[in-house]
Structure 1
Protein backbone atom coordinates (compact mmCIF):
# COMPACT_ATOMS: atom_id res chain seq x y z
CA UNK A 1 0.00 0.00 0.00
CA UNK A 2 1.42 3.39 -0.99
CA UNK A 3 2.04 6.31 1.34
CA UNK A 4 -0.65 8.29 -0.47
CA UNK A 5 -3.18 5.55 0.17
CA UNK A 6 -2.28 5.47 3.85
CA UNK A 7 -2.58 9.23 4.06
CA UNK A 8 -5.98 9.18 2.40
CA UNK A 9 -7.37 6.59 4.82
CA UNK A 10 -10.24 8.23 6.75
CA UNK A 11 -9.96 8.70 10.49
CA UNK A 12 -12.23 6.68 12.74
CA UNK A 13 -15.43 8.54 13.55
CA UNK A 14 -16.64 8.88 17.11
CA UNK A 15 -19.76 6.90 16.23
CA UNK A 16 -17.58 4.02 14.99
CA UNK A 17 -15.47 4.13 18.16
CA UNK A 18 -18.56 4.15 20.36
CA UNK A 19 -20.00 1.18 18.47
CA UNK A 20 -16.75 -0.74 18.86
CA UNK A 21 -16.55 0.03 22.58
CA UNK A 22 -20.18 -1.02 23.02
CA UNK A 23 -19.39 -4.42 21.50
CA UNK A 24 -16.25 -4.81 23.60
CA UNK A 25 -18.08 -3.85 26.81
CA UNK A 26 -20.78 -6.47 26.41
CA UNK A 27 -18.27 -9.07 25.30
CA UNK A 28 -16.84 -8.91 28.83
CA UNK A 29 -18.49 -11.69 30.83
CA UNK A 30 -18.18 -9.57 33.95
CA UNK A 31 -20.46 -6.81 32.64
CA UNK A 32 -23.88 -8.46 32.81
CA UNK A 33 -23.00 -10.56 35.84
CA UNK A 34 -21.63 -7.65 37.87
CA UNK A 35 -24.57 -5.37 37.12
CA UNK A 36 -27.11 -8.10 37.88
CA UNK A 37 -25.50 -9.10 41.18
CA UNK A 38 -25.08 -5.46 42.16
CA UNK A 39 -28.75 -4.75 41.51
CA UNK A 40 -29.82 -7.77 43.55
CA UNK A 41 -27.53 -6.84 46.44
CA UNK A 42 -28.60 -3.18 46.54
CA UNK A 43 -32.28 -3.99 46.22
CA UNK A 44 -31.94 -6.70 48.85
CA UNK A 45 -30.42 -4.27 51.33
CA UNK A 46 -32.92 -1.49 50.66
CA UNK A 47 -36.08 -3.57 50.42
CA UNK A 48 -34.92 -5.73 53.32
CA UNK A 49 -34.56 -2.68 55.55
CA UNK A 50 -38.07 -1.53 54.66
CA UNK A 51 -39.47 -5.03 55.22
CA UNK A 52 -37.82 -5.18 58.63
CA UNK A 53 -39.45 -1.92 59.67
CA UNK A 54 -42.87 -3.03 58.47
CA UNK A 55 -42.42 -6.36 60.24
CA UNK A 56 -42.25 -4.63 63.61
CA UNK A 57 -44.75 -1.90 62.78
CA UNK A 58 -47.41 -3.18 65.19
CA UNK A 59 -45.04 -3.15 68.17
CA UNK A 60 -44.13 0.50 67.65
CA UNK A 61 -45.86 2.95 70.02
CA UNK A 62 -48.74 4.80 68.33
CA UNK A 63 -46.94 8.12 68.77
CA UNK A 64 -43.87 6.78 66.99
CA UNK A 65 -45.98 5.42 64.14
CA UNK A 66 -47.72 8.78 63.76
CA UNK A 67 -44.38 10.58 63.68
CA UNK A 68 -43.00 8.07 61.17
CA UNK A 69 -45.87 8.79 58.79
CA UNK A 70 -45.91 12.56 59.37
CA UNK A 71 -42.17 12.93 58.81
CA UNK A 72 -42.10 10.59 55.81
CA UNK A 73 -39.34 8.52 57.41
CA UNK A 74 -39.95 5.66 54.98
CA UNK A 75 -37.91 7.72 52.49
CA UNK A 76 -34.79 6.80 54.46
CA UNK A 77 -35.10 3.20 53.29
CA UNK A 78 -35.56 4.13 49.62
CA UNK A 79 -31.79 3.97 49.20
CA UNK A 80 -29.80 3.04 52.28
CA UNK A 81 -26.20 3.90 53.04
CA UNK A 82 -25.33 0.20 52.89
CA UNK A 83 -26.87 0.01 49.42
CA UNK A 84 -24.88 3.04 48.30
CA UNK A 85 -21.62 1.54 49.57
CA UNK A 86 -22.25 -1.76 47.79
CA UNK A 87 -22.99 0.18 44.60
CA UNK A 88 -19.75 2.18 44.88
CA UNK A 89 -17.73 -0.96 45.53
CA UNK A 90 -19.19 -3.09 42.75
CA UNK A 91 -19.62 -0.48 40.01
CA UNK A 92 -16.24 1.11 40.76
CA UNK A 93 -14.59 -2.30 40.37
CA UNK A 94 -16.52 -2.92 37.15
CA UNK A 95 -15.42 0.42 35.75
CA UNK A 96 -11.80 -0.45 36.45
CA UNK A 97 -12.11 -3.84 34.75
CA UNK A 98 -13.52 -2.26 31.57
CA UNK A 99 -10.03 -0.81 31.09
CA UNK A 100 -7.73 -3.35 32.75
CA UNK A 101 -9.48 -6.24 31.01
CA UNK A 102 -8.13 -5.02 27.67
CA UNK A 103 -4.63 -4.65 29.08
CA UNK A 104 -4.79 -8.16 30.50
CA UNK A 105 -5.74 -9.73 27.18
CA UNK A 106 -3.51 -7.50 25.07
CA UNK A 107 -6.50 -6.26 23.06
CA UNK A 108 -5.55 -2.69 23.90
CA UNK A 109 -2.46 -2.99 21.67
CA UNK A 110 -4.61 -3.99 18.70
CA UNK A 111 -7.03 -1.17 19.43
CA UNK A 112 -4.31 1.49 19.54
CA UNK A 113 -2.69 0.16 16.36
CA UNK A 114 -6.01 0.39 14.57
CA UNK A 115 -6.83 3.79 16.08
CA UNK A 116 -3.69 5.73 17.06
CA UNK A 117 -5.83 8.52 18.55
CA UNK A 118 -5.73 7.03 22.02
CA UNK A 119 -7.58 9.88 23.67
CA UNK A 120 -10.51 9.42 21.31
CA UNK A 121 -10.62 5.69 22.02
CA UNK A 122 -10.75 6.24 25.77
CA UNK A 123 -13.29 9.04 25.41
CA UNK A 124 -15.55 6.67 23.46
CA UNK A 125 -15.07 3.99 26.10
CA UNK A 126 -15.91 6.48 28.86
CA UNK A 127 -19.03 7.57 26.97
CA UNK A 128 -20.27 3.98 26.66
CA UNK A 129 -19.49 3.10 30.28
CA UNK A 130 -21.10 6.31 31.54
CA UNK A 131 -24.24 5.71 29.47
CA UNK A 132 -24.64 2.11 30.65
CA UNK A 133 -23.93 3.05 34.28
CA UNK A 134 -26.37 5.97 34.16
CA UNK A 135 -29.20 3.84 32.80
CA UNK A 136 -28.36 1.11 35.31
CA UNK A 137 -28.23 3.59 38.19
CA UNK A 138 -31.49 5.27 37.18
CA UNK A 139 -33.37 1.98 36.88
CA UNK A 140 -31.97 0.71 40.16
CA UNK A 141 -32.83 3.92 42.02
CA UNK A 142 -36.35 4.02 40.58
CA UNK A 143 -37.08 0.35 41.32
CA UNK A 144 -35.62 0.66 44.80
CA UNK A 145 -37.80 3.69 45.56
CA UNK A 146 -40.95 1.99 44.28
CA UNK A 147 -40.25 -1.35 45.96
CA UNK A 148 -39.40 0.10 49.35
CA UNK A 149 -42.36 2.46 49.48
CA UNK A 150 -44.68 -0.33 48.40
CA UNK A 151 -43.71 -2.17 51.58
CA UNK A 152 -45.45 0.51 53.62
CA UNK A 153 -48.72 0.49 51.64
CA UNK A 154 -50.63 -1.43 54.29
CA UNK A 155 -49.57 1.09 56.95
CA UNK A 156 -50.17 4.16 54.74
CA UNK A 157 -46.60 5.18 55.59
CA UNK A 158 -45.03 5.28 52.13
CA UNK A 159 -44.20 8.48 50.27
CA UNK A 160 -44.53 9.49 46.63
CA UNK A 161 -41.89 10.94 44.36
CA UNK A 162 -43.42 14.35 45.05
CA UNK A 163 -42.52 14.17 48.74
CA UNK A 164 -39.87 16.78 49.74
CA UNK A 165 -36.44 15.35 49.03
CA UNK A 166 -37.70 12.20 47.28
CA UNK A 167 -36.78 13.18 43.73
CA UNK A 168 -33.42 14.50 44.89
CA UNK A 169 -32.69 11.18 46.59
CA UNK A 170 -33.58 9.18 43.49
CA UNK A 171 -31.52 11.37 41.15
CA UNK A 172 -28.49 11.45 43.46
CA UNK A 173 -28.63 7.67 43.88
CA UNK A 174 -28.90 7.21 40.11
CA UNK A 175 -25.85 9.42 39.46
CA UNK A 176 -23.74 7.55 42.00
CA UNK A 177 -23.37 4.67 39.50
CA UNK A 178 -21.75 6.61 36.60
CA UNK A 179 -19.51 8.53 39.01
CA UNK A 180 -18.28 5.25 40.51
CA UNK A 181 -17.81 3.62 37.09
CA UNK A 182 -15.87 6.54 35.63
CA UNK A 183 -13.69 6.78 38.75
CA UNK A 184 -12.91 3.10 38.45
CA UNK A 185 -12.01 3.61 34.78
CA UNK A 186 -9.58 6.39 35.68
CA UNK A 187 -7.90 4.19 38.29
CA UNK A 188 -7.73 1.32 35.82
CA UNK A 189 -6.16 3.53 33.15
CA UNK A 190 -3.51 4.68 35.62
CA UNK A 191 -2.62 1.29 37.15
CA UNK A 192 -3.46 -1.07 34.23
CA UNK A 193 -3.72 -4.07 36.56
CA UNK A 194 -7.10 -5.50 37.53
CA UNK A 195 -6.43 -6.52 41.14
CA UNK A 196 -4.51 -3.35 42.03
CA UNK A 197 -7.13 -1.18 40.32
CA UNK A 198 -10.07 -2.79 42.11
CA UNK A 199 -8.34 -2.35 45.48
CA UNK A 200 -7.36 1.24 44.70
CA UNK A 201 -10.87 2.13 43.55
CA UNK A 202 -12.30 0.63 46.74
CA UNK A 203 -9.88 2.60 48.89
CA UNK A 204 -10.60 5.83 47.03
CA UNK A 205 -14.39 5.52 46.98
CA UNK A 206 -15.05 3.86 50.36
CA UNK A 207 -12.06 3.69 52.72
CA UNK A 208 -10.86 7.28 52.36
CA UNK A 209 -14.31 8.82 53.07
CA UNK A 210 -14.65 6.59 56.14
CA UNK A 211 -11.31 7.84 57.49
CA UNK A 212 -12.14 11.54 57.10
CA UNK A 213 -13.85 13.04 60.11
CA UNK A 214 -16.61 15.60 59.58
CA UNK A 215 -15.99 17.06 63.05
CA UNK A 216 -12.90 19.05 62.07
CA UNK A 217 -12.89 21.75 59.43
CA UNK A 218 -10.17 20.58 57.04
CA UNK A 219 -11.05 16.90 57.17
CA UNK A 220 -14.71 17.86 56.71
CA UNK A 221 -13.77 19.82 53.59
CA UNK A 222 -12.07 16.77 52.10
CA UNK A 223 -14.85 14.46 53.27
CA UNK A 224 -17.51 16.63 51.64
CA UNK A 225 -15.49 16.51 48.41
CA UNK A 226 -15.85 12.71 48.16
CA UNK A 227 -18.67 11.11 46.11
CA UNK A 228 -20.08 9.09 49.01
CA UNK A 229 -20.32 12.12 51.26
CA UNK A 230 -21.88 14.17 48.45
CA UNK A 231 -24.53 11.48 48.06
CA UNK A 232 -25.12 11.49 51.82
CA UNK A 233 -25.59 15.26 51.78
CA UNK A 234 -28.22 15.01 49.08
CA UNK A 235 -30.13 12.15 50.70
CA UNK A 236 -29.93 12.64 54.46
CA UNK A 237 -32.73 14.10 56.55
CA UNK A 238 -32.56 17.88 57.22
CA UNK A 239 -32.53 17.36 61.00
CA UNK A 240 -29.55 15.01 60.71
CA UNK A 241 -27.73 17.41 58.40
CA UNK A 242 -28.26 20.24 60.89
CA UNK A 243 -26.23 18.31 63.47
CA UNK A 244 -23.09 18.44 61.31
CA UNK A 245 -20.62 21.12 62.47
CA UNK A 246 -19.41 21.70 58.89
CA UNK A 247 -22.31 20.71 56.64
CA UNK A 248 -22.10 20.72 52.87
CA UNK A 249 -24.71 22.37 50.68
CA UNK A 250 -26.86 20.61 48.13
CA UNK A 251 -25.39 22.76 45.37
CA UNK A 252 -21.89 21.85 46.47
CA UNK A 253 -22.77 18.16 46.56
CA UNK A 254 -24.11 18.22 42.96
CA UNK A 255 -20.90 20.02 41.94
CA UNK A 256 -18.77 17.34 43.61
CA UNK A 257 -20.47 14.56 41.65
CA UNK A 258 -20.08 16.47 38.38
CA UNK A 259 -16.42 17.28 39.02
CA UNK A 260 -15.55 13.69 39.88
CA UNK A 261 -17.13 12.45 36.67
CA UNK A 262 -15.42 15.11 34.53
CA UNK A 263 -12.03 14.64 36.20
CA UNK A 264 -12.27 10.85 35.82
CA UNK A 265 -12.89 11.13 32.06
CA UNK A 266 -9.97 13.55 31.71
CA UNK A 267 -7.60 11.30 33.64
CA UNK A 268 -8.69 8.26 31.63
CA UNK A 269 -8.04 10.02 28.33
CA UNK A 270 -4.69 11.52 29.35
CA UNK A 271 -3.33 8.43 31.10
CA UNK A 272 -2.90 6.47 27.85
CA UNK A 273 -1.39 9.17 25.65
CA UNK A 274 2.28 8.86 26.50
CA UNK A 275 2.63 5.25 27.60
CA UNK A 276 3.98 2.17 25.86
CA UNK A 277 0.57 0.66 25.18
Structure 2
Protein backbone atom coordinates (compact mmCIF):
# COMPACT_ATOMS: atom_id res chain seq x y z
CA UNK A 1 0.00 0.00 0.00
CA UNK A 2 1.50 3.27 -1.05
CA UNK A 3 0.74 6.80 0.14
CA UNK A 4 1.08 10.08 -1.72
CA UNK A 5 1.78 13.43 -0.18
CA UNK A 6 0.89 16.85 -1.52
CA UNK A 7 2.82 19.99 -0.89
CA UNK A 8 0.72 23.12 -0.56
CA UNK A 9 2.20 26.24 -2.11
CA UNK A 10 1.25 29.42 -0.30
CA UNK A 11 -0.65 31.91 -2.43
CA UNK A 12 0.88 35.27 -3.12
CA UNK A 13 -0.70 38.01 -1.06
CA UNK A 14 -3.26 40.04 -2.98
CA UNK A 15 -3.42 43.81 -2.90
CA UNK A 16 -6.21 45.15 -0.72
CA UNK A 17 -9.28 46.30 -2.64
CA UNK A 18 -9.58 50.06 -2.77
CA UNK A 19 -12.95 51.63 -3.37
CA UNK A 20 -13.33 54.15 -6.16
CA UNK A 21 -13.32 57.69 -4.81
CA UNK A 22 -16.65 59.47 -4.93
CA UNK A 23 -16.87 61.90 -7.84
CA UNK A 24 -16.39 65.52 -6.95
CA UNK A 25 -19.02 68.10 -7.77
CA UNK A 26 -16.73 69.62 -10.40
CA UNK A 27 -16.54 66.18 -12.05
CA UNK A 28 -20.32 66.01 -12.18
CA UNK A 29 -20.46 69.51 -13.66
CA UNK A 30 -17.93 68.51 -16.31
CA UNK A 31 -19.96 65.40 -17.16
CA UNK A 32 -23.17 67.41 -17.50
CA UNK A 33 -21.36 69.95 -19.66
CA UNK A 34 -20.14 67.18 -21.98
CA UNK A 35 -23.68 65.82 -22.31
CA UNK A 36 -25.07 69.27 -23.03
CA UNK A 37 -22.32 70.14 -25.49
CA UNK A 38 -22.89 66.89 -27.40
CA UNK A 39 -26.41 68.06 -28.25
CA UNK A 40 -25.63 71.01 -30.48
CA UNK A 41 -29.25 71.83 -31.15
CA UNK A 42 -29.86 72.68 -27.49
CA UNK A 43 -27.32 75.45 -27.04
CA UNK A 44 -27.83 76.70 -30.59
CA UNK A 45 -31.50 77.22 -29.78
CA UNK A 46 -30.59 79.26 -26.69
CA UNK A 47 -27.96 81.27 -28.56
CA UNK A 48 -30.27 82.05 -31.48
CA UNK A 49 -33.12 82.91 -29.12
CA UNK A 50 -30.85 85.33 -27.25
CA UNK A 51 -29.81 87.00 -30.50
CA UNK A 52 -33.42 87.18 -31.68
CA UNK A 53 -34.53 88.71 -28.36
CA UNK A 54 -31.94 91.48 -28.65
CA UNK A 55 -32.97 92.13 -32.26
CA UNK A 56 -36.63 92.32 -31.21
CA UNK A 57 -35.83 94.96 -28.60
CA UNK A 58 -33.62 96.96 -30.95
CA UNK A 59 -36.24 96.87 -33.69
CA UNK A 60 -38.97 97.98 -31.27
CA UNK A 61 -37.01 101.10 -30.31
CA UNK A 62 -35.75 101.77 -33.84
CA UNK A 63 -39.34 101.73 -35.11
CA UNK A 64 -40.21 104.42 -32.57
CA UNK A 65 -37.50 106.87 -33.65
CA UNK A 66 -39.57 108.57 -36.40
CA UNK A 67 -42.36 109.24 -33.91
CA UNK A 68 -39.87 110.66 -31.42
CA UNK A 69 -38.41 112.93 -34.10
CA UNK A 70 -41.84 114.16 -35.25
CA UNK A 71 -44.29 113.73 -32.37
CA UNK A 72 -47.87 114.53 -33.21
CA UNK A 73 -50.18 116.60 -31.02
CA UNK A 74 -51.74 114.70 -28.10
CA UNK A 75 -55.47 113.89 -28.24
CA UNK A 76 -57.72 116.55 -26.71
CA UNK A 77 -57.83 116.29 -22.94
CA UNK A 78 -54.72 114.09 -22.72
CA UNK A 79 -51.25 115.13 -21.52
CA UNK A 80 -48.33 114.93 -23.94
CA UNK A 81 -47.10 111.39 -24.49
CA UNK A 82 -44.01 110.46 -22.48
CA UNK A 83 -41.86 107.77 -24.08
CA UNK A 84 -40.84 104.85 -21.83
CA UNK A 85 -37.47 103.32 -22.86
CA UNK A 86 -37.85 100.43 -20.41
CA UNK A 87 -41.22 99.35 -21.78
CA UNK A 88 -39.96 99.31 -25.37
CA UNK A 89 -36.32 98.32 -24.75
CA UNK A 90 -37.14 95.28 -22.58
CA UNK A 91 -40.27 94.16 -24.35
CA UNK A 92 -42.54 91.36 -23.26
CA UNK A 93 -42.10 89.69 -26.65
CA UNK A 94 -38.37 89.24 -26.05
CA UNK A 95 -38.90 87.95 -22.49
CA UNK A 96 -41.49 85.47 -23.79
CA UNK A 97 -39.01 84.29 -26.41
CA UNK A 98 -36.28 83.75 -23.81
CA UNK A 99 -38.73 82.04 -21.45
CA UNK A 100 -39.79 79.42 -23.99
CA UNK A 101 -36.21 78.83 -25.17
CA UNK A 102 -34.81 78.43 -21.65
CA UNK A 103 -37.75 76.34 -20.48
CA UNK A 104 -37.40 74.02 -23.47
CA UNK A 105 -33.67 73.67 -22.82
CA UNK A 106 -34.31 72.76 -19.19
CA UNK A 107 -36.94 70.18 -20.13
CA UNK A 108 -34.78 68.60 -22.84
CA UNK A 109 -31.84 68.07 -20.51
CA UNK A 110 -34.04 65.92 -18.26
CA UNK A 111 -36.45 64.02 -20.49
CA UNK A 112 -33.76 63.60 -23.15
CA UNK A 113 -31.76 61.32 -20.86
CA UNK A 114 -34.81 59.18 -20.10
CA UNK A 115 -35.73 58.97 -23.79
CA UNK A 116 -32.27 57.82 -24.88
CA UNK A 117 -31.64 55.62 -21.84
CA UNK A 118 -28.54 57.59 -20.92
CA UNK A 119 -29.96 58.09 -17.44
CA UNK A 120 -29.26 54.42 -16.60
CA UNK A 121 -25.58 54.84 -17.45
CA UNK A 122 -25.43 58.06 -15.46
CA UNK A 123 -26.91 56.57 -12.30
CA UNK A 124 -24.82 53.42 -12.66
CA UNK A 125 -21.68 55.56 -12.65
CA UNK A 126 -22.96 57.93 -9.95
CA UNK A 127 -25.61 56.34 -7.69
CA UNK A 128 -26.10 59.61 -5.80
CA UNK A 129 -29.01 60.94 -7.83
CA UNK A 130 -29.32 64.10 -5.79
CA UNK A 131 -25.74 65.09 -6.65
CA UNK A 132 -26.37 64.46 -10.34
CA UNK A 133 -29.53 66.57 -10.36
CA UNK A 134 -27.80 69.33 -8.38
CA UNK A 135 -25.00 69.47 -10.95
CA UNK A 136 -27.51 69.57 -13.79
CA UNK A 137 -29.46 72.38 -12.08
CA UNK A 138 -26.29 74.38 -11.46
CA UNK A 139 -25.12 74.03 -15.06
CA UNK A 140 -28.44 74.82 -16.75
CA UNK A 141 -29.22 77.59 -14.28
CA UNK A 142 -25.80 79.17 -14.79
CA UNK A 143 -25.90 79.01 -18.58
CA UNK A 144 -29.42 80.43 -18.84
CA UNK A 145 -28.64 83.12 -16.26
CA UNK A 146 -25.67 84.20 -18.38
CA UNK A 147 -27.87 84.27 -21.47
CA UNK A 148 -30.46 86.36 -19.61
CA UNK A 149 -27.84 88.85 -18.47
CA UNK A 150 -26.43 89.19 -21.99
CA UNK A 151 -29.87 89.87 -23.44
CA UNK A 152 -31.04 92.24 -20.70
CA UNK A 153 -27.88 94.32 -20.37
CA UNK A 154 -27.20 94.23 -24.12
CA UNK A 155 -30.73 95.36 -24.95
CA UNK A 156 -30.78 98.07 -22.30
CA UNK A 157 -27.43 99.56 -23.26
CA UNK A 158 -28.01 99.35 -27.01
CA UNK A 159 -31.54 100.77 -27.01
CA UNK A 160 -30.71 103.63 -24.69
CA UNK A 161 -27.64 104.48 -26.77
CA UNK A 162 -30.03 104.82 -29.74
CA UNK A 163 -32.29 107.08 -27.67
CA UNK A 164 -29.52 109.25 -26.25
CA UNK A 165 -29.61 111.66 -29.21
CA UNK A 166 -33.36 112.10 -28.64
CA UNK A 167 -32.74 112.96 -24.97
CA UNK A 168 -35.10 110.27 -23.70
CA UNK A 169 -32.55 107.55 -22.91
CA UNK A 170 -32.04 106.17 -19.44
CA UNK A 171 -28.99 105.27 -17.38
CA UNK A 172 -28.58 102.05 -15.44
CA UNK A 173 -28.38 104.21 -12.32
CA UNK A 174 -31.85 105.72 -12.90
CA UNK A 175 -34.69 104.66 -10.65
CA UNK A 176 -35.94 101.19 -11.46
CA UNK A 177 -33.50 100.49 -14.31
CA UNK A 178 -31.14 98.08 -12.57
CA UNK A 179 -34.11 96.26 -11.05
CA UNK A 180 -35.69 95.92 -14.49
CA UNK A 181 -32.52 94.58 -16.09
CA UNK A 182 -31.92 92.05 -13.31
CA UNK A 183 -35.58 91.01 -13.26
CA UNK A 184 -35.54 90.47 -17.02
CA UNK A 185 -32.39 88.36 -16.67
CA UNK A 186 -33.67 86.36 -13.68
CA UNK A 187 -36.79 85.08 -15.41
CA UNK A 188 -34.64 83.15 -17.91
CA UNK A 189 -33.04 80.67 -15.43
CA UNK A 190 -36.33 80.50 -13.54
CA UNK A 191 -38.10 79.26 -16.67
CA UNK A 192 -35.26 76.82 -17.32
CA UNK A 193 -35.75 75.31 -13.85
CA UNK A 194 -39.51 75.11 -14.40
CA UNK A 195 -38.82 73.27 -17.65
CA UNK A 196 -36.56 70.82 -15.81
CA UNK A 197 -39.32 70.07 -13.31
CA UNK A 198 -41.85 69.45 -16.08
CA UNK A 199 -39.36 67.22 -17.90
CA UNK A 200 -38.73 65.20 -14.74
CA UNK A 201 -42.43 64.74 -13.99
CA UNK A 202 -43.67 64.01 -17.53
CA UNK A 203 -40.57 62.42 -19.14
CA UNK A 204 -42.00 63.05 -22.60
CA UNK A 205 -40.92 65.64 -25.16
CA UNK A 206 -44.32 66.75 -26.46
CA UNK A 207 -46.03 66.69 -23.08
CA UNK A 208 -43.24 68.70 -21.44
CA UNK A 209 -43.13 71.43 -24.11
CA UNK A 210 -46.92 71.69 -24.36
CA UNK A 211 -47.20 71.95 -20.56
CA UNK A 212 -44.51 74.64 -20.54
CA UNK A 213 -46.34 76.69 -23.16
CA UNK A 214 -49.62 76.23 -21.31
CA UNK A 215 -48.16 77.37 -18.01
CA UNK A 216 -46.34 80.36 -19.46
CA UNK A 217 -48.81 81.68 -22.03
CA UNK A 218 -52.22 79.96 -21.88
CA UNK A 219 -52.84 79.85 -18.13
CA UNK A 220 -52.35 83.63 -17.61
CA UNK A 221 -55.24 84.28 -20.01
CA UNK A 222 -57.58 82.70 -17.46
CA UNK A 223 -56.58 85.05 -14.66
CA UNK A 224 -56.83 88.52 -16.18
CA UNK A 225 -59.08 91.46 -15.47
CA UNK A 226 -59.69 93.38 -12.27
CA UNK A 227 -63.19 92.20 -11.43
CA UNK A 228 -62.26 89.37 -9.08
CA UNK A 229 -59.32 90.03 -6.81
CA UNK A 230 -58.47 86.37 -6.13
CA UNK A 231 -58.33 85.61 -9.86
CA UNK A 232 -56.13 88.63 -10.51
CA UNK A 233 -53.75 87.74 -7.68
CA UNK A 234 -53.34 84.20 -8.97
CA UNK A 235 -52.45 85.65 -12.36
CA UNK A 236 -49.92 88.08 -10.92
CA UNK A 237 -48.12 85.21 -9.21
CA UNK A 238 -47.51 83.27 -12.42
CA UNK A 239 -43.90 83.28 -13.69
CA UNK A 240 -44.04 85.82 -16.52
CA UNK A 241 -46.19 88.23 -14.51
CA UNK A 242 -43.29 88.71 -12.11
CA UNK A 243 -40.97 90.04 -14.81
CA UNK A 244 -43.75 92.32 -16.06
CA UNK A 245 -43.94 93.94 -12.62
CA UNK A 246 -40.18 94.19 -12.19
CA UNK A 247 -39.63 95.90 -15.55
CA UNK A 248 -42.23 98.63 -15.06
CA UNK A 249 -40.63 102.07 -15.08
CA UNK A 250 -41.51 103.90 -11.82
CA UNK A 251 -41.54 107.22 -13.73
CA UNK A 252 -44.03 106.05 -16.35
CA UNK A 253 -47.79 105.75 -16.33
CA UNK A 254 -47.64 101.99 -17.02
CA UNK A 255 -49.30 99.86 -14.36
CA UNK A 256 -50.65 96.33 -13.93
CA UNK A 257 -54.06 97.64 -12.90
CA UNK A 258 -55.79 96.93 -9.63
CA UNK A 259 -54.34 94.44 -7.14
CA UNK A 260 -50.87 94.73 -8.66
CA UNK A 261 -48.12 93.00 -6.65
CA UNK A 262 -45.30 94.89 -5.00
CA UNK A 263 -41.74 94.67 -6.24
CA UNK A 264 -40.72 92.56 -3.24
CA UNK A 265 -43.68 90.26 -3.80
CA UNK A 266 -42.62 89.69 -7.40
CA UNK A 267 -39.04 88.88 -6.39
CA UNK A 268 -40.29 86.41 -3.77
CA UNK A 269 -42.69 84.82 -6.24
CA UNK A 270 -39.96 84.32 -8.81
CA UNK A 271 -37.68 82.79 -6.17
CA UNK A 272 -40.43 80.45 -4.99
CA UNK A 273 -41.06 79.22 -8.54
CA UNK A 274 -37.35 78.48 -8.93
CA UNK A 275 -36.98 76.78 -5.53
CA UNK A 276 -40.10 74.63 -5.92
CA UNK A 277 -39.02 73.59 -9.42
CA UNK A 278 -35.63 72.44 -8.14
CA UNK A 279 -37.25 70.57 -5.26
CA UNK A 280 -39.71 68.81 -7.57
CA UNK A 281 -36.92 67.79 -9.95
CA UNK A 282 -34.77 66.36 -7.15
CA UNK A 283 -37.63 64.48 -5.46
CA UNK A 284 -39.06 63.00 -8.67
CA UNK A 285 -35.69 61.86 -10.03
CA UNK A 286 -34.68 60.29 -6.68
CA UNK A 287 -37.93 58.41 -6.06
CA UNK A 288 -39.00 57.22 -9.50
CA UNK A 289 -37.47 54.26 -11.30
CA UNK A 290 -35.47 54.80 -14.45
Question: Normalising by structure 1, what TM-score?
Answer: 0.91
After superposition, residues 228-239 of structure 1 pair within 5 angstroms as 228-238=240-250, 239=253
Out of 6, 12, 26, the residue aligned to residue 15 of structure 1 is: 26
1:267: which partner in 2?
280
Q: Is the 8 A contact 1:140 1:174 kept in 2?
A: yes
Q: Return 92-101 or 211-220, whichever deviates more.
A: 211-220
1:103: which partner in 2?
114
Q: Is the 8 A contact 1:212 1:219 kept in 2?
A: yes
1:159: which partner in 2?
170
1:36: which partner in 2?
47
Please state whether the residue corresponding to 1:164 is helix, strand or coil. coil
Where does structure 2 lack aligned partners over 5 or more consecutive residues?
1-13
Q: Is the 8 A contact 1:134 1:178 kept in 2?
A: yes
CA-atom RMSD, angstroms?
2.1
Number of aligned residues = 270
Out of 108, 125, 130, the residue aligned to residue 119 of structure 1 is: 130
Q: Could you tell me how far apart the structure 2 residues matched to 1:233 and 1:90 are? A: 21
1:170: which partner in 2?
181
2:236: which partner in 1?
224
1:240: which partner in 2?
254
Q: Is the 8 A contact 2:56 2:93 kept in 1?
A: yes
Provide, for residues 86-132 of structure 1, a one-character-per-residue CA deviation record: whole Å limited to 9, x for no partner: 11112111111111221222111100111111121111100110011
1:202: which partner in 2?
213
After superposition, residues 29-68 of structure 1 pair within 5 angstroms as 29-61=40-72
2:100: which partner in 1?
89
Shift of the alpha carbon at 1:217?
Answer: 1.2
Please state whether the residue corresponding to 2:275 is helix, strand or coil. helix
Q: Could you tell me how far apart the structure 2 residues matched to 1:167 and 1:158 are? A: 14
2:222: which partner in 1?
211
Provide, for residues 64-105 of structure 1, a one-character-per-residue CA deviation record: whole Å limited to 9, x for no partner: 9x966xx56122222101111111112111111111221222
Where does structure 1 lack aligned partners over 5 or more consecutive residues?
none
Q: Could you tell me how far apart the structure 2 residues matched to 1:206 and 1:91 are? A: 14
Q: Could you tell me how far apart the structure 1 residues matched to 2:237 and 2:119 are? A: 33
Q: Is the 8 A contact 2:86 2:248 kept in 1?
A: no
Q: Is the 8 A contact 2:32 2:135 kept in 1?
A: yes
More helix by share: 1
Q: Could you tell me how far apart the structure 1 residues matched to 2:60 and 2:247 are? A: 16
After superposition, residues 127-138 of structure 1 pair within 5 angstroms as 127-138=138-149
Please state whether the residue corresponding to 2:287 is helix, strand or coil. coil
Q: Does 1:251 align with 2:277?
A: no
Which protein shows a greater Rg?
2
